[in-house]
Amino acid sequence: MSRELLAWYDMHARVMPWRVAPADRARGVLPDPYHVWLSEVMLQQTTVAAVKAYFEAFTRTWPKLTDLAAAKDADVMAAWAGLGYYARARNLLKCARVVVQDHGGQFPTSYEALLALPGIGPYTAAAISAIAFDQPETVLDGNVERVMARMYDEHQPLPAVKPVLMTHAQALTPEIRPGDYAQAVMDLGATVCTPKNPRCGVCPWHDPCQARLNGTAAVLPQKTPKKKTPTRYGIAYVVWRADGALLLETRPETGLLGGTLGFPTTDWKETEPLAAPPLDANWQDTGQEARHTFTHFHLRLKIYTATVTENSQPSRGVFMTHAQFSRQALPTAMRKVYDLVTAT
């Protein structure tokens, strides 16, 4: 089965800026571990289409791991803005600096050593070890879970069935070309064994697939029903100074949007929050509401605005001119606030 999949991958591998094509790899061209790691971190909870532009921008700005390790935190957070899950960006910097400080700027090759690095979990450690260093480690992302659930017609729901799917995936992982195989099985799930309307007729594993034989592919993998997503509420304060500068603050490193630039807000609660403005001013309720969905809750931010004099002293945040910040440096939730108030 692994030989059949690799033969399919040699013809149908997706082209990605961080990937070495199978033909080039066969000639001895190896992927850059820095690129493999960076792409895998970016791809967590994010689509390939969304990641490509960010990856290319990061590698233009910081071509080597040592460049990223030496970067300013604020610059990296600004470059990450819009990708979401900002703890990834903070851990990206921590990991780069540990690799430079403790490993001479070279990623360790083993799964165990990779797993000890900041921000690298079991999946990412396996992916880097396999793809960058051709170690026979097994990757199990959402695409691979779907392929394994269908191949073996497993009806126990996720996430409880994960250990069973890992056992199946490990049994198929070859000693030869494990890096290409890891990418092949992910490509299979992304392009052929898709969540809806799987293309069973062109699948290299068409014949042995148990779900295809049993007519159950469309309903697999089963998933435990999700709980209803709660809604939290808050107030965002947009303050213009008389010279046009905007009041912005860097959010605490811990918590959602940690370390990112944004407008001062109240706490986000499941009940209407009490006002907590960053300075005394003639506040205006715009009647607008920025809405954004995080993994575990929906956020609704009322927007209050004010204009203050040039000698105003806020209790939090700093005034920044348009030359000192850009809309692109704001995370998506804060961009929505900015776009609403600047569109009026």
Question: Residue 77 and residue 72: Cα distance in Å, rounded?
Answer: 9
Query: In this predicted model, what pLDDT tens digit does every residue of 192-208 receive, in sequence order?
Result: 999 999 999 999 999 99
Q: Quote the pTM value.
A: 0.84
pLDDT band at 344 (very low <50, low <70, confident <90, very high): low
CATH, domain range 231-342: 3.90.79.10
State how far Cα 284 lies from the chain centre. 36
The pLDDT assigned to 274 comes to: 85
Residue 184's Cβ-side half-sphere holds a number of Cα atoms within 13 Å equal to 25
For residue 66, pLDDT beyond 80 = yes
- From-to residues of CATH 3.90.79.10 in the chain: 231-342
C-beta of residue 185 within 8 angstroms of C-beta of residue 14: no
Query: In this predicted model, what pLDDT tens digit does every residue of 10-27 receive, in sequence order?
Result: 999 999 999 999 999 999
The pLDDT assigned to 177 comes to: 95
Q: Which residues are catalytic?
A: 40
For residue 9, pLDDT beyond 80 = yes
For residue 323, pLDDT beyond 90 = no
Question: Residue 40 and residue 55: Cα distance in Å, rounded?
Answer: 10
The pLDDT assigned to 223 comes to: 94
- pLDDT more than 70, % of the chain: 100
For residue 337, pLDDT beyond 80 = yes
Alpha helix (H) residue ranges in 210-285: 210-214
Q: Would you state the torsion angle of the CA atoms of residues 56, 60, 64, 66, taken in this order, to the nearest 10 degrees?
A: -120
- From-to residues of CATH 1.10.340.30 in the chain: 2-219
Q: Dihedral of CA 170/111/30/118: which sign?
A: positive
The token duo for 316 is 């939090």
The correct CATH number of 2-219 out of 3.30.70.3270, 3.40.630.30, 1.10.340.30, 3.40.50.800 is 1.10.340.30
For residue 53, pLDDT beyond 90 = yes
C-beta of residue 115 within 8 angstroms of C-beta of residue 132: no
Q: What is the mean pLDDT of the chain?
A: 94
Query: In this predicted model, what pLDDT tens digit does every residue of 101-156 receive, in sequence order?
Result: 999 999 999 999 999 999 999 999 999 999 999 999 999 999 999 999 999 999 99
- pLDDT more than 90, % of the chain: 88
Query: In this predicted model, what pLDDT tens digit does every residue of 208-265 receive, in sequence order?
Result: 999 999 999 999 999 998 889 999 999 999 999 999 999 999 998 888 888 899 999 9
Question: Residue 217 and residue 209: Cα distance in Å, rounded?
Answer: 9
C-beta of residue 160 within 8 angstroms of C-beta of residue 224: yes
Reduce the DSSP state of residue 117 to 3 states and report it: coil
Q: Would you state the torsion angle of the CA atoms of residues 158, 160, 163, 166, taken in this order, to the nearest 10 degrees?
A: 0
DSSP 127-176: HHHHHHH--------HHHHHHHHHHTT--SPBTTTHHHHHHHHHHH--SS
Query: In this predicted model, what pLDDT tens digit does every residue of 173-192 receive, in sequence order?
Result: 999 999 999 999 999 999 99
C-beta of residue 258 within 8 angstroms of C-beta of residue 92: no
Phi, psi of 98 (to 5 degrees): -70, -40
Question: Residue 169 and residue 172: Cα distance in Å, rounded?
Answer: 5
